[in-house]
Amino acid sequence: MALPLRYNWRNLFVRKLSTMLTFIVVAAVVLVLSVLLSFAAGIRASLAVSGCPENVIVLKPGATSESTSVIFPDEVNRIVQAPGIARDASGRLLVSQELCVQATLPRRDNPGAVANVAVRGVDDIGFELHKGVRLVEGRRFRPGALEVVVGKAAHDRYAGLGLGDEVLLGRLRNRRFKVVGVFESGGSALESEIWAPRTSVADSYLRVFCSSALIRLADAGLVPAAIAYINGPAVNLDAKRETDYYKDLSTKTREIVVLTTILVGIMAVGAAFAVANTMYAAVDGRRREIAMLRTIGFSRGAIVVAFLVESLLICTAACLFGLLLSLLIHGSRQDYLSDATWTVLAFELKVTPTTMLVSLSLAAFVALAGALAPAVRASKTNVIEALRKA
């Protein structure tokens, strides 16, 4: 027969200070874990929804991102020969030449600091290829005008990007572009960008050639053939799925995850030691009580379970508290400078269900690892000896 849960619960309050200190230790570890994981989750979420499976992005071989790539017009002429390119309703080939440059803009929350924001020059057709892009305020820019639409994340984080504001762009920062719209794209990386007509960008940045070409295939099944064609001798450029391109950009996330795992692992082991310490003290302080329980018929197993449950109670409560604290940062916007594109990528910190599950299992691990040895020791209490001491 197991001991009633109520027994464990009330025992926690016998040693209030110890319980509280252990609680704080575990809560702090969970807090660190969930914050670090939510960083990784935020970046991953933003890059995961970027890109569309039927799209293929074409860069110059060797270039690591759109911003370091250059594509010549004759190369574009060869790209459009690729098999399987889809057409829109009016019969235009779905090929978007894009020009990626950057602008240095002050941050909204800290005007002293600046950020390198990506500026993408696109033609009207670009809106067709980037499927998720949807204007939430204002209108699209007119072709060839000095007008921009800005991503929602950029609009929120950088100063001077409100609807109707004028923003200075161009190689010499001397062209006034008017913000005429704000777009959303389901939280993808594009939301950190500023979009302007390609010709205006080319002119303002003295750039003759475009950076990349995006093509849409009629069907996701046609993608491998198109990639093979473009990578082959016919075009000799570097094509990859748009989704893969963004996946490659997220290498930094993997670094964070690795670092997180190491740091949190060390901390978790430390916390397990702290829990073990508390539980040993609890066992030592209750020898007589345990002997009494054994006398009135509770089995060794029941005693082990009782201590494990007690430890689980503290750690789970601490974990929930830690998660609650981490929810405070949920949804806050952060950004980082991608080392591949050299532009900032804004993302939202996300405390995902996975993060919660991982935190809970970490807390459970800490609770069990810390309490197992003390619980076994408790179950081995010599009944007669312990009772005689009374």
Partner 1 sequence: MLRLIYLRNNLIRNRLRTLLTCAAVALPIMIYVLSMAVVDGVERFLDNSARQLRLAVTHKTSLVNPLPEGYRRKIESLDPERKGITSVCGMRWLGGKIANDPRPLQTMAIDADTFVATFPEYRLTPEEVAAWQRDRQALVVGRATAAQFGWKVGDRVTIRGSVPPYAPMEFHIISTAERAEDPITLGCRRDYLEEKLKECGYPYGLVSFFFVKCATKADVDRYRVAIDQLFARSPDETRTQDEKAFMSEFVTQQFDLPRRLTILAAVTVFVAVMAAANTMSMNFRDRISEIATLKSMGFGGTFVFTQIQAESLLLCLVGGAVGAWVPYFAFTWTPLKDYTVPVIQVLLIRPAVCMQALVISLLIGIVAAVWPSWAALRLKVVAAMRSLE
State which of residues 263, 327, 328, 357 lies at the interface with partner 1 (CB under 8 A).
263
Neighbouring residues of 266: CB distance < 8 A, sequence distance ≥ 6:
none
6-24 core/surface letters (b: 16 or more CB in 10 A; e: else): eebeebbeebeebbeebbe
State yes or no: residue 280 binds partner 1 (CB under 8 A). yes
Give the x/- contact pattern for partner 1 in 198-237, rule: CB under 8 A.
----------------------------------------
State yes or no: residue 28 binds partner 1 (CB under 8 A). yes
Neighbouring residues of 186: CB distance < 8 A, sequence distance ≥ 6:
49, 132
Q: How many other β-carbons are positioned within 10 Å of the β-carbon of residue 207?
A: 17
Neighbouring residues of 370: CB distance < 8 A, sequence distance ≥ 6:
271, 272, 273, 274, 275, 276, 278, 279, 311, 315
Q: Whole-number minimum distance, CB 128 to partner 1, in Å? A: 29
Stretch binding partner 1 (CB under 8 A), from 154-162, 165-173, 296-304, 315-323: 165-173
State yes or no: residue 68 binds partner 1 (CB under 8 A). yes
User: Within 13 A of 47's CA, how many CA atoms are on the CB side?
Assistant: 21
Q: Rounded to 5 degrees, what are φ and ψ at 222?
A: -85, -5
How far apart (Å, rounded) are the C-alpha atoms in residues 329 and 236? 46
Task: State the residue for tokens 């800005």.
Answer: 150
Stretch binding partner 1 (CB under 8 A), from 140-148, 187-195, 222-230, 272-280: 272-280
State yes or no: residue 118 binds partner 1 (CB under 8 A). no
State which of residues 2, 136, 225, 266 lies at the interface with partner 1 (CB under 8 A).
266
State yes or no: residue 276 binds partner 1 (CB under 8 A). yes
| Binding footprint of partner 1 on the chain (CB under 8 A) | 15, 17-18, 21-22, 24-25, 28-29, 31-32, 60-64, 67-68, 70, 101-104, 113, 115-116, 170-173, 252, 255, 263, 266-267, 269-271, 273-274, 276-278, 280-281, 284, 336-337, 339, 342, 344
